Chains A and B, each alone.
Chain A
Amino acid sequence: MSQANLAIEPGIAAHGAHAPGVMEEHPFAIPSSKLVMWLFIISDACTFGAVLFAYGYIRNSAADWPRVFEQASIWNSLLMTFILVSTSLTVLFAVRAAQAEDRAGAFRWTMITAAGGLLFTILHLKEWLSLIHQGASLLHNPWGSPMFGAAFFSITGLHMAHVVGGVIALTVVGLTYRAGRYSARHIEIWALYWHFVDLVWMFVVPLVYLLNMKR
C-alpha cells in the first residue's frame, strides 16, 4: 500500500495510543453513516421491488383483476405526488441551510418537510378509508379478485409506514440539530432517506393506481 493511500483522521488521531491513528482512505469518499444509509436504501429498494413484482405476479395471473380507481382517486394520487416531490425540494433546502450553518433555517425546512409528509399520510388514509367504506379489505372486495385488497393495502401500507417513519426521524433530527447535538451530515443522511421514499412513490402511482384506473 502506497503512502498516498494512507490518511490520518484528525479526530481519531488526537485520541493517541488507543486509536488506530493511520487509516486507509475510504474508497467511496463518503462518511460511514452515509454509506450505511445508501446500503439501507438499496436493500429497501429490493424489498419494494419484491413486493411490486409479487403484485405483478398476482395481477397478471388473476382473470378478474378489478380496476377500481375513479378519476377522483387519480387526481388525489397526483396531489399526493405533488406534495411528496415538493417535500423532496424542501428537504434539499434544509440540507443547504444546514451546510451553511443556518440552524434556524435548516430546522424550519426540516419541519416543513415533515409537515408535508404528514399531509401526504392524511390524504393516503383518506384514500384507504374510501376503499374500506366501499367494502375493500385485505381478503375481500366487491369488485373481483380478492387479492386486490391484499396487494393494494400491503404496497401502499409499506410505503406509508416509510413516510411515517421518515416524518418521525426528520422531526427528531431537526429538533436535535437545532439543539446543536447533530451536524449538517445528519440532516443530509435523512434527506437521502426522504428522497428514497419519494422515489418509491414514483413507481407505486403508475403501477398501483394508474394501471387499476376505471375506464
Chain B
Amino acid sequence: MSQTAKSNSMGSTYFIYGAILAIAVVQVIIAMTMGPSLWRMLLLAVIQGYLAVMFFMHLRDEKATLRLALIPGTLFVLVMMNMIWADSFRLAVMKPFAK
C-alpha cells in the first residue's frame, strides 16, 4: 500500500470513528430532549452498524459473493423474527391469562 493510500485509508477510518461516536451522542441528545422514539433510535443504530460492518470490519472491501452470502440470509432471519409482535400486542390489549 502506498503512503498516500495508507494515509487516505487512515483518514476515512478516523472519519468513521468520529461519525459512529457522533451518532451515539445524537441518540442520547434526542432521547433526553424529544424522548426515546423506538424508530429514531433504531434507525440511528442501523446507520452505526452499517458503518461498523462496512468500514471497521471491511466487508466493503471483500468480494460481492461474500456480502451476498452473509447479509441477505442474516437480514431474512432477523426480519422473520418480527412475527412475534402479533402475539405481543395480543397480550398487551387482550386478557393475558384467560381462564
Contacts and interface: CB of A to CB of B under 8 A. Distances in A.
Interface in B62-90: 62-63, 65-66, 69-70, 73-74, 77-78, 81-82, 84-85, 87-89
Categorize the interface residue count of chain A: 35 or more
Nearest to B78: A49
B56 A203 contact: no
A196 B59 CA distance: 12
Interface stretch (A10-18, A132-140, A206-214): A206-214
A57 B85 contact: yes
Given A60-B85, A60-B92, A29 B63 contact: yes
B35 interface: yes
Contact of B78 (A46, A56, A196): A46
Contacts of A89: 13-14, 17
A53 B28 CA distance: 22
Contacts of A199: 48-49, 52-53, 57
A195 interface: yes
Contacts of B35: 215
Contact of B21 (A57, A71, A82, A207): A82
B3 to A, nearest CB: 12
Majority DSSP secondary structure for residues of A touching B: helix
Contact of A42 (B44, B45, B70): B70
Contacts of A206: 27, 31, 36, 41-42, 44-45
22 contacts: A28-B62, A28-B65, A29-B66, A30-B63, A38-B70, A42-B70, A45-B78, A49-B77, A56-B85, A57-B84, A58-B88, A61-B89, A78-B25, A82-B24, A85-B24, A88-B17, A199-B52, A202-B49, A203-B45, A207-B42, A211-B38, A215-B35
Given A28-B65, A46-B74, A82-B21, 13 more contacts: A28-B63, A30-B66, A42-B70, A45-B74, A53-B82, A57-B84, A60-B88, A60-B92, A78-B25, A195-B53, A202-B24, A205-B24, A211-B41
